[in-house]
């Protein structure tokens, strides 16, 4: 297989919120493994992840997913794991039920869902909280549950938007261990972050600040 077939390739990508451009003529390729997308708040990191996931539609350019596919509903159900900055869990369903729902949409059978649920809950230290609803969990526990939920389908594309933002070091280390050692094979993992703690992970890096000259004046102000 051509290495580019296993990558996400963004070509001349553009996106704007109303009249405000967020991305203009952005091109990049993301290979399997961990890539940290870094940049200041508002620089377009989250937008890039949402464009790759198919949750937003680019105003220009194109995104080629591994195998040349497009970010359609089937891709979202089966191949994509996404951790949002906020609200990742259905509030009225237990952690286990949240995972089961995602597994069911991914087309996994009941046995496989149960096996993977146990695996990722254990890896993230959530076994004791599996039957609790998200409202009774702390922020860190919720974030770990969200990561477990996204990983349950062992996605080929795993996108995390500020996964450690606001988390203490202990929770952060649990997530880092998972990202460093337990990603599915050949998974393209993009982490949008400005958390310097994640720099300890072996990774490729994309500095987003260079795409946003408007914000450069903040450096001199800081």
Partner 1 sequence: MKAWILTAFYLWKDIWSRWLETPGALLARLLVAFLLAGLMLLGQAALRLAERSLETRVARMGAHTIVINEAVSGGADRQPPLGRLLPAAPDVDLLALRQASVRAQDEFGTELRVLVRGNESLPALAPLLAAAPEAAVHTINPLLPAGLALRVLIDGRDYAATNLAPPASLQRFASGQPVVLVPEAIGETWLGTGWFETALVFDRGGDLPRLAAAIRALLRLEERHHAQIQSPEALLDELQDLRQVQHRAQTGAGLVGGCVVALLFGSIAVLEYRQNRYVAALLRSCGAPAPLLVARYAVEALLLSAIAVLAARLALAGLHEPLFGRLGLEAALLDRGRYDPYAWPLVWQQTRWLALGALVSLLPVAFSLRQPVGRILQ
| Contact positions vs partner 1 (CB under 8 A) | 46-47, 50-51, 53, 55-57, 73, 76-77, 82, 84-93, 97, 100-102, 104-106, 110
Residues 6+ apart with CB under 8 A from 29: 4, 7, 8, 9, 10
Give the bridge partners for 26, in sequence order. 13
Q: How far is the CB of 159 from partner 1 (least distance, A)?
A: 11
- Tell me phi and psi for residue 8, to 5 degrees: -100, 125
79, 156 in Cβ contact below 8 A? yes
Q: Toward partner 1, which CB reaches closer, 22 or 172? A: 22
Q: Toward partner 1, which CB reaches closer, 36 or 100? A: 100
> Quick one: which of 87, 51, 85, 83 has its CA closest to 70?
51
Q: How far is the CB of 111 from partner 1 (least distance, A)?
A: 12
Q: How far is the CB of 100 from partner 1 (least distance, A)?
A: 6
Q: Toward partner 1, which CB reaches closer, 104 or 199? A: 104
Q: Toward partner 1, which CB reaches closer, 54 or 125? A: 54
Q: What is the CA radius of gyration of the chain?
A: 17
Q: How far is the CB of 117 from partner 1 (least distance, A)?
A: 13
């Amino acid at each position: 297989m051509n290495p580019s077939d296993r990558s996400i390739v963004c070509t001349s990508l553009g996106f704007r919120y109303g009249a405000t451009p967020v991305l203009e003529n952005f091109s990049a390729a993301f290979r399997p493994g961990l890539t940290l997308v870094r940049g200041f708040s508002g620089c377009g990191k989250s937008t890039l992840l949402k464009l790759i996931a198919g949750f937003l539609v680019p105003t220009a350019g194109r995104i080629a997913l591994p195998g040349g596919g497009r970010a359609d509903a089937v891709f979202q159900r089966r191949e994509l794991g996404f951790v949002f900055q906020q609200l990742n869990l259905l509030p009225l369903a237990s952690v286990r039920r949240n995972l089961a729902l995602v597994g069911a949409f991914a087309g996994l059978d009941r046995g496989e869902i149960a096996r993977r649920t146990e695996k990722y809950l254990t890896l993230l230290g959530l076994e004791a909280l599996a039957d609790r609803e998200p409202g009774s969990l702390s922020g860190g526990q919720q974030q770990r549950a969200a990561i477990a939920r996204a990983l349950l389908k062992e996605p080929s594309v795993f996108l995390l938007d500020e996964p450690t933002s606001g988390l203490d070091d202990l929770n952060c280390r649990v997530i880092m261990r998972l990202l460093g050692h337990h990603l599915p094979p050949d998974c393209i993992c993009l982490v949008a972050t400005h958390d310097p703690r994640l720099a300890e992970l072996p990774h490729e890096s994309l500095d987003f600040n260079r795409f946003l000259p408007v914000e450069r004046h903040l450096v001199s102000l800081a």
